[in-house]
A = this chain, B = another copy of it.
Amino acid sequence: MIVVMKVGSPEEEISRLTEEFTTWGLSPEKIVGQHKVVIGLVGETADLDEQNIQEISPWIETVLRVERPYKRASREFRHGESSQVVIPTPNGDVTIGEQFPISIVAGPCSVENEEMIVETARRVGAAGAKFLRGGAYKPRTSPYAFQGHGESALELLAAAREASGLGIITEVMDTADLEKVAEVADVVQIGARNMQNFSLLKKVGAQDKPVLLKRGMSATIDEWLMAAEYILAAGNPNVILCERGVRTFDRSYARNTLDLAVIPVLRTLTHLPIMIDPSHGTGRWEYVPAMAKAAIAAGTDSLMIEVHPNPAKALSDGPQSLTPDRFDALVKELAVIGRAVERWPEPQVALV
């Protein structure tokens, strides 16, 4: 932590601060610059809050953090190595991580009925997906829009899991529903709007199922990693980070701006595995293939893609869903890039 003093700070004030910091168990070191004095704080500073330090003297101009605010999520925590998340599914364990082949998650925005979800599961599984996504509880901007079938949809997901052998990824929105969701889900999803629902983060951190943590609509990378830190600190080491587009000034064509540069950025900051969601990330199925291919070329560990048997009749998010036929075609295109970067799953080659 670096404390920058204002021009003209009185010598006594600097001495007073130096003593104060010493009582905190820190070793303050003073650098006298041409115009300004800065004080470096040596010691255990990770838990200190820049804003609180700033307030201890009106002569402090600014406080700069040198240490990163997250620990367990940091790449250093694993000594520079990446980590992976192993997810048991009926078809066997699937591992998501930097050293492993790319996994695909596919399925509809929301679970509508048994036939639809089982059929979608079979189709995306046949095309090569390892996981079925599908919402039982849906965050919707309007109270008058379809809110998901809730508990009964969880049963349908269980049926689709059995029928297809795929792992299930589904969202939890309320701490009160977590137990039920975790019973069915192989991976519990925290949606973008709940990325800083800290009560929910603590509770998914205190249970055993892996967690897919979507980036908030306007969350910085540091805030996203701090949200992951909540889960890790609560005891659950299995967190996957999912980029799904951020909000910018232009939403005329793509609904969000898919920030693919998080891939190389996150590699330097964290050991956690990465997923990219080009369906929410762009909001239109026409843009999904280009961005899914780009994500693979940029080094993603997994992809989440919306597929619906009949997008025109979808109860939510129709315009960003691919039909199963288009998804089949897309997986073939993805395989070309996936093989070029040597991250395409071998058994899947036969299927494609």
A interface residues (Cβ-Cβ under 8 A, vs B): 2, 4, 7, 29, 31-36, 38, 40, 42-47, 49, 51-52, 54-57, 64, 66-67, 69-70, 76, 139-145, 147, 173-177, 193-194, 196-202, 217-218, 220-223, 226, 229-230, 233-234, 246-254, 257-261, 263-265, 268-269, 281-282, 286-287, 289-291, 293-299, 311-312, 314-319, 336-337, 339-341
Closest to A145 in B: B49
A296: which B residues are within 8 A, CB to CB? 297
Residues of chain B lying within 8 A (CB to CB) of residue A49: 145, 316
If A143-B230, A218-B249 are given as contacts, then 5 extra A-B residue pairs at C-beta distance below 8 Å, sorted by A number, are A2-B38, A141-B196, A143-B202, A248-B259, A297-B297
Inter-subunit contact A34/B38 (CB<8 Å): no
A141 touches B226 (CB 8 A): yes
Flag if B250 contacts A264 (CB, 8 Å).
no
For the complex, give the distance between the alpha carbons of A289 and B267 in Å.
13
Contacts of A337 in B (CB 8 A): 297, 337, 340-341
B260 x A294 contact (CB < 8 A): yes
- How far in angstroms is the closest Cβ of chain B from A289? 8
Let me know if A56 and B173 touch, CB within 8 A. no
Cα-based distance from A200 to B29 in the complex (angstroms)? 45
Using CB atoms, name the residue of chain B closest to A28: B31
CA distance A31 to B31 in the complex (A): 9
| B257:A248 contact, CB within 8 angstroms | yes
Task: Output the least CB separation between A4 and chain B (Å).
Answer: 5
Considering only CB atoms, which chain B residue lies closest to A311 in the complex? B55
Query: What chain B residues lie within 8 Å of A4 (beta carbons)?
Result: 66
- State whether B250 touches A314 (Cβ < 8 A): no
A233 and B143: CB pair below 8 A? Answer: yes
Given the interface pairs A31-B29, A199-B174, A254-B261, the reply to whether A218 lies near B221 with Cβ below 8 Å is: no
Copies in the complex: 4
CA distance A137 to B49 in the complex (A): 18
Which chain B residues border A282 with CB–CB below 8 Å?
Answer: 261, 264
Interface pair B287/A293, CB less than 8 Å apart: no
Q: How far is the CB of A294 from chain B (nearest CB, A)?
A: 4
Bound together, the chains give a CA A78 to CA B234 distance in angstroms of 47
* Cβ–Cβ < 8 Å partners of A319 in chain B: 51-52, 54-55
Contacts of A261 in B (CB 8 A): 253-254, 257-258, 281-282, 287, 290-291
A177 to B295, CA, bound (A): 41
CB neighbours (8 Å) of A265 from chain B are 253-254, 287
Please give the distance in Å from A269's CB to the nearest CB on chain B: 8
Q: Does the CB pair B249–A249 fall under 8 Å?
A: yes
List, sorted by A's number, 20 A–B pairs whose CB atoms are closer than 8 Å.
A4-B66, A7-B76, A33-B40, A33-B43, A33-B45, A33-B67, A36-B67, A52-B314, A143-B229, A177-B199, A217-B218, A246-B248, A246-B257, A253-B261, A253-B269, A257-B259, A261-B281, A265-B287, A290-B298, A294-B294
Central interface residue in A197, A198, A294, by most chain B CB within 10 Å: A294
A142, B31: Cβ atoms closer than 8 Å = no
State in angstroms the CA–CA spacing of A220 and B251 once bound together. 8
Note all chain B residues with C-beta closer than 8 A to A221.
Answer: 250, 252-253
